[in-house]
Amino acid sequence: MNFINCLEECIKNKTLISEFNRLTDFKLGIDSRSPIEIVIDDATGYDEQKEYMRKFIDFVYMHIWLPLVASQPANTLDTNHAGD
């Protein structure tokens, strides 16, 4: 398993996403913008979900991947992020 595999599994986990949102007050996967906010964001190119996803990736890396790597024997995980 490499970090990308770990991240893919975490993204599939609805409970983890829900808890991430609860802990951070983010709304990953939830679009609660008003119609005017949507128009403004579209016009300016802003995408809050990209920001939330960046934070989720950091969260997974720090709180799931690093502890997982630390708990495994050295040769059982691929510590290259892309799995090269």
pLDDT tens digits for range 24-69: 999 998 888 899 999 999 999 998 889 999 999 999 999 999 999 9
Length of the chain: 84
16 domain-assigned: yes
43 domain-assigned: yes
Domains contained in the chain, number: 1
17 and 7 Cβ atoms separated by less than 8 Å: no
Q: How far apart are CA 22 and CA 5, in angstroms?
A: 24
Q: What is the pTM of this model?
A: 0.77
77 domain-assigned: no
What integer pLDDT is reported at residue 44 of this predicted model?
94
What integer pLDDT is reported at residue 72 of this predicted model?
83
82 domain-assigned: no
61 domain-assigned: yes
Residue span of the structural domain in which 53 resides: 3-71
81 domain-assigned: no
79 domain-assigned: no
